[in-house]
Structure 1
Amino acid sequence: MANFETIAAEDRARAGKGVARATRRAGMVPGVIYGAKQDPSLIAIDPRVVMRELKRGGWRSRLYEIETATGKTRALMRDVQFHPVTDQPEHIDFQRLAVGEPVRVAVAVNFMNELLSVGMKRGGVLNVVRHSVEVWCDPDTIPDHFEADLGPLDINDNIRWHDLKGTEKTRPTIIDRDFVVATVAAPTVIAEAAPEPGAAPAAAPAKGGKGGPAKAAAPAAKAAPAKAAAKPAAKK
């Protein structure tokens, strides 16, 4: 049996932008519960409760039971709208759940036995393609998570949909292939090349002074000026 978390909320009598703004001024977040072939229900929730659920992560697949003065409703949190400046929640949408009516949810994948993986011991790197998998399932059988066993994986091996545990009562939204969830990739570190036996170590660049790089050859000496032309021979 699925576990539902209770959220306290207040009923709203009317819809509209003006009523929604009044709800926010009163310190509450307006919301709506839709689906299951019923009329939408208007509610208001404490913003601290909304932020608490968002910070926990995985809120799109968490099951809630929304309790108001008029009754309880089982639902999934589908969307949260935020103020563009303050980032405070301004509106929240829930999808009503009905037994026997499948819903689409994202279920988290837990990776097990990472330290036992043959490929990881050899220096391989876990490359997670999907941290969660979207599936169709009955609201009462939504799993908390799927499990992926990394123990048998060597380098270049992977985990596919059929390898996951806990998928018995679910159907993946991707049905045209046995998709990859994660793989153990080869290490990407390149080792430095070892010097050849007997090779002299590379000389470090010399600083100025003795032993420094040879100075540039002095510019060629200027050509000596041509000797004065010989004096004319004396007259006899």
Structure 2
Amino acid sequence: MVQTIRIEAEARERAGKGAARATRRDGRVPAVIYGAKQEAVLLSLDPRDVMKEMHKGGWQSHLYEVALAGGATERCLMREVQFHPVKDTPVHVDFQRLAAGQMIRVKVPVVFLNEETAPGVKEGGVINIVRRDLEVLSDPDQVPDQFEIDLAAAVIGDSLRWSNVVDHKGTKPVIVGRDFVVATIAPPTVEEEIVVAAPVAAPDAKGKKGGKAAAPAAAAKKK
């Protein structure tokens, strides 16, 4: 089940770049909650709370209960975090509000089981991961922590697809109409040995190899 995380917020009254800069000068991160056919809500966050979520990983698949002034809360997904190009600190956060019964679009990481014992890997093959995360539509309360693909019978040349996921857990893939590839078992890479032949010295005037050619200046003096 998806993890729900509470994050404290303060309301912002003014919109626009100037107001956002003022929020940052106060040591806060401007943010907005939008969606579900309701008015956008302007707020600010503690930058430490934002960075804590970034370091956790998987934040795009977490549900957030954003606590506003007066005790009101908004159930959201954190959709985008913008960072300062030099300082690498968060400068803006976008939240998407969830409506009742709404399916959400999330990225779920893929885990491969039995990698070390897979026949293809034991024969020298390499797991070529095409998609580390699978983008799916899911019930907000049933977002999987991860998908699993078992490599116990995978041999060199096999393609592991959406249909090879052990349990789709009630989700639907965003990519429709084809059984898309998640990973392949590629054959081992064979490096060709390049042999460089040693240079052969040109024969000298007497027909022997290894003679040195006369310098142009010396040859001119003899004439």
Q: Shorter-chain TM-score: what band?
A: 0.7 to 0.9
TM-score, scaled relative to structure 1 = 0.78
Equivalent of 1:215 in 191, 210, 215 = 210
Q: Deviations over 1:151-208 (max 9, x none)?
A: 1101111210011123131111111210000011000034769xxxxxxxxxx99xxx
CA RMSD of aligned residues (A): 2.5
Q: Deviations over 1:11-53 (max 9, x none)?
A: 2233232322221111000000111222111111111221222
Deviation at 1:74? 1.6
What SS class does the counterpart of residue 115 from structure 1 fall into?
A: coil
- Kept in 1: contact 2:127–2:184 (CA 8 A): yes
Which segment is superposed worse, 91-100 or 58-67?
A: 58-67
What are the residue-to-residue correspondences of 1:7-18 with 2, within 5 Å?
7-18=7-18
- Cα distance change, pair 218–141 in 1 and its aligned pair in 2 (3 A): closer
Q: Are residues 1:145 and 2:140 paired?
A: no
- Kept in 2: contact 1:98–1:139 (CA 8 A): no
Unaligned runs of 5+ in 1: 194-203, 206-212, 220-236
Aligned residues: 204
What SS class does the counterpart of residue 210 from structure 2 fall into?
A: coil
- Kept in 1: contact 2:105–2:137 (CA 8 A): yes
The structure with more radius of gyration = 1
The runs of at least 4 aligned residues of structure 1 exceeding 3 Å deviation read 190-193
Unaligned runs of 5+ in 2: 200-207, 215-223
Mapped to 1, the partners of 2:83 and 2:75 lie a distance apart of 24
Aligned position for 1:130? 131
2:27 aligned partner, one-letter code: G
TM-score, scaled relative to structure 2 = 0.82
Aligned position for 2:29? 29
What SS class does the counterpart of residue 6 from structure 1 fall into?
A: strand
- Kept in 2: contact 1:82–1:90 (CA 8 A): yes
Mapped to 1, the partners of 2:2 and 2:58 lie a distance apart of 15
Identity %: 54
Q: Which has the higher helix share?
A: 2
Mapped to 2, the partners of 1:25 and 1:190 lie a distance apart of 56
1:107 aligned partner, one-letter code: V
Deviation at 1:73? 1.6
- Cα distance change, pair 217–31 in 1 and its aligned pair in 2 (3 A): closer
Mapped to 2, the partners of 1:167 and 1:87 lie a distance apart of 36
What are the residue-to-residue correspondences of 1:146-185 with 2, within 5 Å?
146-185=147-186
Mapped to 2, the partners of 1:189 and 1:172 lie a distance apart of 36
